[in-house]
Amino acid sequence: MNSLVIRRPDDWHVHLRDGPMLAHVLDFTARQFARAIVMPNLDPPVVTTADAVAYRGRITARLRPGRDFAPLMTAYLTDGTDPADLTAGFERRIFTAAKLYPAHATTNSAKGVGDIRRIAPVLAAMERIGMPLLVHGEVTEPSVDIFDREAVFLDRVLAPVLRDFPGLKVVCEHITTEEAVGFVLAAGDRVAATITPHHLQFSRNAIFQGGIRPHFYCLPILKREKHRLALRKAATSGSPKFFLGTDTAPHAVHTKENACGCAGVFNAPVALEAYLTVFDEEGALDRFEAFASEHGARFHGLPLNEGTVRLVREPLAVPERCEGEGVSVVPYHAGTTLPWRMVAG
């Protein structure tokens, strides 16, 4: 097969940032996807309904004329989140979901949740109204090895939450391990997961290939090869529990190529092409549309998109840098050539 037409896809996990970076990166996502779940980890974070209305306005104001793209907003949970405001924001369809960042787990997470037990009333409200909880699933204790933080989180934090809130809908974001795949599969229909292109394409060896490679540093960190293979199997299995979420996370080049570099892979410029390469290698082109355009919408109870995008088996040369708005970002697969290319809607 040399050409594939699929229903317009959605990206269920995107960092669009703010200010010049937002202006620079937005169209990379908007040209490929009809909708995207926009992560709230700005500084200061998007906590209230009013914050989300304002941020959504800044995003839509930056959209190119004619782009048909809907940002789906999320609330950043803190120890002080007000269940009444969260509920009102969801019922007014401002919020699509709420994001749990354990405090200090990743970029701009210092104001995240210190102890999940403190937000029990928030989780109870979300369970009652059917608002999905999106989870950055890593413990933050320095005593836990960075490669074990996801698996430990599932056991110590998420399993008790699922037990205590049996109706709560949960998306395990950017899963990276065999354990997470097993956990999600065992958990029943209300639990699903997003999977990034970089965790499908690279193991932790990539971070250390001939030197330290900061553009492969992200959180959760890339894992061993056996985990990558488990993720590929899950993503291409056809299970409705797994869907597309790029976790595209742009950082200016000087903040990545730094003695203390930021975490994140900027994959938006080549997101569909990277995922499709994986599905092609796995002999699962026929399952790509469901992963990219159906499973996430169904989980969230949203309509499927109208319209299509077309991808062709033609080389896509990825630039070394994406520059604009005074910002320079190194894209995923910089300087290499991918075998597929999105050509049109």
Check if 247 is active-site.
Answer: yes
Catalytic residue among 10, 11, 51, 247: 247
Distant-in-sequence, close-in-space partners of 133: CB < 8 Å, separation ≥ 6 = 97, 98, 100, 123, 126, 161, 168, 169, 170, 171
| Smallest distance from ligand DOR to CB 150, Å | 11
Query: How far apart are CB 247 and ligand DOR at their closest, in Å?
Result: 6
By a kind-dependent CB cut-off of 5 to 8 A, residue 168 interacts, out of Zn ion, ligand DOR, none, with none
Instruction: Indicate which of ligand DOR, Zn ion, none lies near residue 252 (CB less than 5 to 8 Å, by partner kind).
Output: none
Among 150, 178, 247, 294, binds Zn ion (CB under 5 A): 247
Residues that bind Zn ion (rule: CB under 5 A) add up to a total of: 1
Least distance from ligand DOR to the Cβ atom of residue 137, Å: 10
Judged by CB, which is closer to Zn ion: 309, or 330?
330
Sign of CA dihedral 233, 234, 238, 243: negative
What radius of gyration do the chain's Cα atoms show?
19
By 3-state DSSP, what share of the chain in percent is helix, strand and coil, each rounded to 5? 40, 20, 40
CA distances to 106, 206, 214, 254, 327 from 260, in Å: 13, 18, 10, 10, 19
CA distances from 195 to 172, 278, 283 (A): 9, 12, 18
Question: For residue 301, how many other CB atoms are within 10 A of its CB?
Answer: 10
User: Given the rule CB under 5 A, which of 144-152, 235-243, 244-252, 281-289 is the region that contacts Zn ion?
Assistant: 244-252
52 binds, among ligand DOR, Zn ion, none (CB under 5 to 8 A by kind): none
Tokens (6 digits) for 125: 């409200």
Give which of ligand DOR, Zn ion, none residue 41 binds (C-beta under 5 to 8 Å, depending on kind): ligand DOR
Amino acid at 160: P
250-269 positions binding Zn ion, by CB under 5 A: none
**Binding flag, residue 150, Zn ion (CB under 5 A):** no
Contacts with Zn ion, residue ranges (CB under 5 A): 247
Q: Which residues are catalytic?
A: 247
